[in-house]
A and B are shown apart, each in its own frame.
Chain A
Amino acid sequence: MAITFPWSKRNSHRDDPYWNFFINTPPADLGNTVTEMIRKAPEGNIFPAKTELHTPEITTSHVKGMAEYFGAALTGIARLDVNDGTNPEGLPFAVVCAVRAEYDPRKSPGIGGQVPVQNGLFVTFVLSAWIRELGFRATAAPQPGDEKLAAQARLGTLNSEGRLVTPQFGVNVYVANAIRTDLPLAPDG
């Protein structure tokens, strides 16, 4: 039995015989995962009346505060290239949210290993729906290169594997789908 102190890190799950199944066994039916339900959900309409905004700096702090309230550990704003072919709608900003990840979701396909993805989808679903309800375009559709955007938004730097390394949590973060939007924001980079 391992010795634990009150200040030790929370349990390492070594005494839990089902933990490995929870983290590493991929689900037999994807219909049992919330991640699949949220991924398949279509995006809603943009509210017809635009909300009156504060200055871009204040709006940015509100977007970041809202993301943090929904569960994001780190949030940054990246400026997008509006003339880029990968950005056909010409949306100028990307809100990049990262959540804590004890296990790397790319290597842990179990429902437990995918919990960071689930938390990330929760943040991006609700946050992008909220921006649409403010009357602005916002899409959280998955696109490659979210980690580069996170590095661009100064959440951290990329390591040799292309993973985001942050000063706060090291590599133990998962970058959720970037929300591309035309809400006037003040980009971090």
Chain B
Amino acid sequence: MSKAEILEEPEVEKNDGSEFPTPHLGRSVRIVGQHVNVDMNESPHPKNARGELGKPLFNWYRNTVSKDALTRVSAPNHFADRRQFLTNVINRSTSGKINPRRGAVDDPAAMTRHIKTVALYMGADVVGIAKAHPSYLYASGGGRYVQDGTAKDEYQNYTPEELARKFPYIIQATTAWDYNKLQAHRHHIGDAAYHVSQIKGVMVLKALEGYIKELGYTALRGVVTPQAAGVAGGIGELGRNGLVINKNFGARVHMPDPIMTDLPLLADEPVDIGVEDFCKICRKCANTCPTNSIPFGDKVVHNGIEKYKINWLTCYKLRPYVHDHWGSCLTCAAVCPFTKPNVWWHTMTVSLLHACPYFARPSLVRFLKWIDDRYWGMVRNNRVRWLGYDSGVKPGDQACTVAGCNASHEGKGQAVVGDAGYYAPLKENTNRFVKRDA
């Protein structure tokens, strides 16, 4: 679509169902019925911020300071001083104005290549562009959802249809977190991997938003549900664990708040990397989830969308109880067989799965799962040492295991012996206090 076509687009056009046909989201998610756009105020964090999930969760969210210095500068809400948290600095800054000297885009394909190159140049690991559809958007009138910040603009009261008409593209650029540090999930090392790449992603997307405005086009934030943009933009497929699974990084990619724009681009298509076939058989995440929040059964239709539906409330309720020891669980991301280092044998295996005809995929998946169980085990409990952190030290205990350190650390506990990282048997313990649905 050229610039001229965009400008000459008729303003008033009623949606009779043919304007926005049901989008194809790949094999992992299907829109099968009437979808009601979700009010962002009904999503977990805003609900919790209003105290609707009970006192322990409210206090965990609003009134706790992490014991770990790096978590205090990189994780949302557990800082000692808000000013040290970069996401807060960036998302609360006043946004710049759109450049009145709009550059003409004659070739949307060249602009698409450019925007993707720019996102990667700024530090993103994956970029995808989705064609906007009203069902990807939050409900109108509910406001914008930007964590630790605000995003107010003149389009606040537009309906999802009006927004999708005016801003036909959604850019999702994201960062992946470090594989080796993720092996020490349920530990501050895993938190470091997750949270530092998250603040980096926030910075990259804000820079990209600013750049689109400098090109003379609008860039809206807090409008689109991130995972819908990720799946529609070909970043990955939606897995049983409710995470978007990417071909290079598996489940270890963030799904940040995407950019909705009127910049003329070409949209990507959803991908098929065999997540659908794998999740049907694997169930590793469901088996290892400490709170049983991931379903063992088949997909369900929720709000008109057929997908695996996780129980976000039980996942969320664990958090205040483990706050003293770590921030983010990440078990489902760490155990996912797709989550591997981004190296040739991983690329080769995913390509094989992609090329395999559908009827033969179950056998291939069973074989790959057998290899995965054999070499990587059911749950990751490698011992990871990183900058004085050691996953061999039990959460809550303190012990210096840095080689050659002769500083006095009196009255500190002992590290576990051997090459095993600490793995809390949470699954058994949480049965005592996590109320389960059915």
Note whether A and B form a binding pair. yes
Q: Is the CB of B113 closer than 8 A to any CB of chain A?
A: yes
User: Are B83 and A43 interface neighbours, CB within 8 A?
Assistant: yes
User: Are A34 and B206 interface neighbours, CB within 8 A?
Assistant: yes
**Which residues in window 369-420 of B have CB below 8 A to A?**
386-388, 400, 402, 404-407, 409
User: Are B404 and A58 interface neighbours, CB within 8 A?
Assistant: yes
A5-28 interface bits toward B, Cβ cutoff 8 Å, 1 = contact, 0 = none:
000000101001111011001011
Within the complex, the shortest CB–CB distance from A148 to chain B, in Å, comes to: 28
User: Are A44 and B83 interface neighbours, CB within 8 A?
Assistant: yes
List the A residue with the shortest CB-CB distance to B181: A69
Q: Is the CB of B351 closer than 8 A to any CB of chain A?
A: no
Q: Roughly how many angstroms separate A112 CA and B123 CA in the complex, as a whole number?
A: 11
Within the complex, the shortest CB–CB distance from A65 to chain B, in Å, comes to: 5
List the B residue with the shortest CB-CB distance to A27: B214
A157-186 interface bits toward B, Cβ cutoff 8 Å, 1 = contact, 0 = none:
000000000000000000000000000000
- How many residues from B make CB contacts under 8 Å with A? 56
Interface of B, helix, strand, loop or mixed by DSSP = helix
Within the complex, the shortest CB–CB distance from A122 to chain B, in Å, comes to: 6
User: Are A62 and B387 interface neighbours, CB within 8 A?
Assistant: yes
Within the complex, the shortest CB–CB distance from B181 to chain A, in Å, comes to: 9
Q: Which of A72-80, A81-89, A128-136 faces chain B?
A: A128-136
Within the complex, the shortest CB–CB distance from B192 to chain A, in Å, comes to: 8
Q: Is the CB of B203 closer than 8 A to any CB of chain A?
A: yes
Q: Roughly how many angstroms separate A122 CA and B197 CA in the complex, as a whole number?
A: 12
Q: Which of B5-13, B84-92, B310-318 faces chain A?
A: B84-92
**Which residues in window 173-203 of B have CB below 8 A to A?**
192, 196, 199-200, 203
Residues on B with beta carbons closer than 8 Å to the beta carbon of A22: 114, 118, 211
Within the complex, the shortest CB–CB distance from B116 to chain A, in Å, comes to: 11
Q: Roughly how many angstroms separate A16 CA and B109 CA in the complex, as a whole number?
A: 11
Q: Is the CB of B35 closer than 8 A to any CB of chain A?
A: no
Residues on A with beta carbons closer than 8 Å to the beta carbon of B206: 34, 37
Q: Is the CB of A111 closer than 8 A to any CB of chain B?
A: yes
List the B residue with the shortest CB-CB distance to A25: B214
A24-36 interface bits toward B, Cβ cutoff 8 Å, 1 = contact, 0 = none:
0101111111100
User: Are A58 and B84 interface neighbours, CB within 8 A?
Assistant: no
Which of B84, B95, B200, B210 is in CB contact (< 8 Å) with A122? B200
Within the complex, the shortest CB–CB distance from B397 to chain A, in Å, comes to: 14
Residues on A with beta carbons closer than 8 Å to the beta carbon of B111: 18
Residues on B with beta carbons closer than 8 Å to the beta carbon of A18: 103, 110-111, 114, 215
Within the complex, the shortest CB–CB distance from B151 to chain A, in Å, comes to: 14
User: Are A28 and B83 interface neighbours, CB within 8 A?
Assistant: no
User: Are A28 and B388 interface neighbours, CB within 8 A?
Assistant: no
Q: Is the CB of A107 closer than 8 A to any CB of chain B?
A: no
User: Are A122 and B203 interface neighbours, CB within 8 A?
Assistant: yes
User: Are B388 and A58 interface neighbours, CB within 8 A?
Assistant: yes
Q: Is the CB of A141 closer than 8 A to any CB of chain B?
A: no
Q: Is the CB of B94 closer than 8 A to any CB of chain A?
A: yes
Within the complex, the shortest CB–CB distance from B21 to chain A, in Å, comes to: 32
User: Are A16 and B110 interface neighbours, CB within 8 A?
Assistant: yes
Q: Which of B72-80, B278-286, B342-350, B423-431 faces chain A?
A: B72-80
User: Are A55 and B407 interface neighbours, CB within 8 A?
Assistant: yes
User: Are B89 and A38 interface neighbours, CB within 8 A?
Assistant: yes
List the A residue with the shortest CB-CB distance to B202: A34
User: Are B214 and A111 interface neighbours, CB within 8 A?
Assistant: yes
Given the known interface contacts A16-B117, A34-B90, A34-B207, the answer about A132 and B84 at a Cβ–Cβ threshold of 8 Å is yes
**Which residues in window 94-121 of B have CB below 8 A to A?**
94-97, 99-101, 103, 107, 110-111, 113-114, 117-118, 121
Given the known interface contacts A32-B211, A129-B73, A130-B70, the answer about A53 and B407 at a Cβ–Cβ threshold of 8 Å is yes
Q: Is the CB of B69 closer than 8 A to any CB of chain A?
A: yes
User: Are A126 and B199 interface neighbours, CB within 8 A?
Assistant: yes
Q: Is the CB of B2 closer than 8 A to any CB of chain A?
A: no
Q: Is the CB of A93 closer than 8 A to any CB of chain B?
A: no
Q: Roughly how many angstroms separate A27 CA and B86 CA in the complex, as a whole number?
A: 22
Q: Roughly how many angstroms separate A41 CA and B211 CA in the complex, as a whole number?
A: 20
Q: Is the CB of A71 closer than 8 A to any CB of chain B?
A: yes
Residues on A with beta carbons closer than 8 Å to the beta carbon of B38: none
Residues on A with beta carbons closer than 8 Å to the beta carbon of B209: 32
Q: Is the CB of A152 closer than 8 A to any CB of chain B?
A: no
User: Are B405 and A55 interface neighbours, CB within 8 A?
Assistant: yes
Question: Which of A25, A62, A71, A126: most chain B CB closer than 10 A?
Answer: A126
Interface residue ranges, A against B (CB under 8 Å)? 11, 13, 16-19, 21-22, 25, 27-34, 37-38, 40-45, 47, 51-55, 58, 61-62, 65-66, 69-71, 111-112, 115, 118-119, 122, 125-126, 129-130, 132-134
For this complex, 21 residue pairs linking A to B, each with C-beta atoms less than 8 Å apart, are A18-B103, A21-B215, A27-B214, A28-B97, A29-B99, A31-B93, A31-B94, A32-B96, A32-B99, A33-B96, A37-B89, A40-B93, A43-B83, A45-B83, A47-B72, A47-B81, A51-B69, A54-B402, A71-B200, A122-B203, A133-B84
If A28-B101, A58-B404 are given as contacts, then 12 extra A-B residue pairs at C-beta distance below 8 Å, sorted by A number, are A17-B114, A25-B214, A32-B213, A33-B207, A41-B93, A45-B80, A65-B387, A122-B86, A122-B200, A126-B86, A126-B199, A134-B69
